[in-house]
Amino acid sequence: MYAIFVSYAANLVVPRVGEISRCGVLAKYDGTSFSKSLGTVVTERLIDTLCVSLITGVTLIMQARVFDTFFKETGTDTTVLAQVFTSGHFYITIVCVLAVLVLAFFLIRNVTVFAKVKGILHNVWVGVLSLRHVKRMPLFILYTVGIWTCYFLQFYVSFFCFDFSDNLGVMAGLVMFAVGSIAVVVPTPNGAGPWHFAVITMMMLYGVGKEDAGIFALLVHGIQTFLLILLGIYGLAALPFTNKTKKL
């Protein structure tokens, strides 16, 4: 738990470094293999990506008109995007990249350094495959759904803190949550900037004024960031007591 707190706080300093720091903390205080922990983190991110994709897909189907307006407002040409990802050139590029990777593999597989890298990658892969050994898959799925439900609710209940947003429904919240979840993919501290832009733009599409939408985004994101800082400090302070023979 402390490792997770530290990782979230670390992401505020350097985006995406939190995942690495979590593996380091677990290796130091719990004796867990760094590479295997990294594999587990990769699995978690893949599951998160799947969840975001499902949420976005369902929301896109149910609120297609809103998304269409959003793309027009942001200057995104969906027709061009569709042509890019369905053209033959796109798939040829993918095949060429894979071919280069395979060729590089055969060229350096006998190099000594590669043997060490291969061992690390093997441990990472073992961590990735840890999902196969989950004993209670239904419970795992239930926990995953519960976690993402809590993610959504902590955003949605914020609507009722302001007069200008308390009339927005669940679907509006789901749309903003989905777009915001995609926006945080951009490597900025806690999604600052892209998340604000996405949420403000979507709120304006639902009739909220630009100034009010900006206030909402700043306060909600600011409080969340402040909480992550507090939890990070708490995690750093508590870690040395988890193993008194070691110090952070």
What is residue 199's predicted lDDT score, i.e. its pLDDT? 92
What is residue 19's predicted lDDT score, i.e. its pLDDT? 79
Burial (Cβ within 10 Å: 0-12, 13-18, ≥19) of residue 245: exposed
What is residue 48's predicted lDDT score, i.e. its pLDDT? 86
What is residue 182's predicted lDDT score, i.e. its pLDDT? 86
Residue 90: band (very low, low, confident or very high) from pLDDT cuts 50, 70, 90: low
Q: Is the pLDDT of residue 195 over 80?
A: yes
Interval 48-70 mean pLDDT: 84
204 in Cβ contact with 210 (< 8 Å): yes
Residues 6+ apart with CB under 8 A from 189: 11, 12, 13, 15, 225
Residue 161: band (very low, low, confident or very high) from pLDDT cuts 50, 70, 90: very high
Residue 65: band (very low, low, confident or very high) from pLDDT cuts 50, 70, 90: confident
**DSSP codes of every residue in 8-65:** HHHHHHSTTHHHHHHHHHHHHHT---HHHHHHHHHHHHHHHHHHHHHHHHHHHHHTHH
Q: Where are the alpha helices (DSSP H) in 131-190?
A: 137-156, 170-183
Residue 174: band (very low, low, confident or very high) from pLDDT cuts 50, 70, 90: very high
Per DSSP, 131 falls in state G
Interval 181-186 mean pLDDT: 86
Interval 165-193 mean pLDDT: 88
164 in Cβ contact with 206 (< 8 Å): no
Residue 86: band (very low, low, confident or very high) from pLDDT cuts 50, 70, 90: low
What is residue 248's predicted lDDT score, i.e. its pLDDT? 45
Q: Is the pLDDT of residue 166 over 70?
A: yes
The amino acid that residue 33 corresponds to is S
Give the count of beta carbons closer than 10 Å to the beta carbon of residue 174: 19
Q: Is the pLDDT of residue 79 over 50?
A: yes
Interval 171-182 mean pLDDT: 90
The listed range with the strongest mean pLDDT (46-55, 131-140, 219-228) is 219-228
Angle made by CA atoms 56, 60, 66, in degrees to the nearest 5: 125
Q: Is the pLDDT of residue 121 over 70?
A: no
The listed range with the strongest mean pLDDT (23-32, 129-138, 221-230) is 221-230
Which of 231, 206, 225, 240 has the alpha carbon at shortest distance from 67? 206
Span between the terminal Cα atoms of the chain, in Å: 16
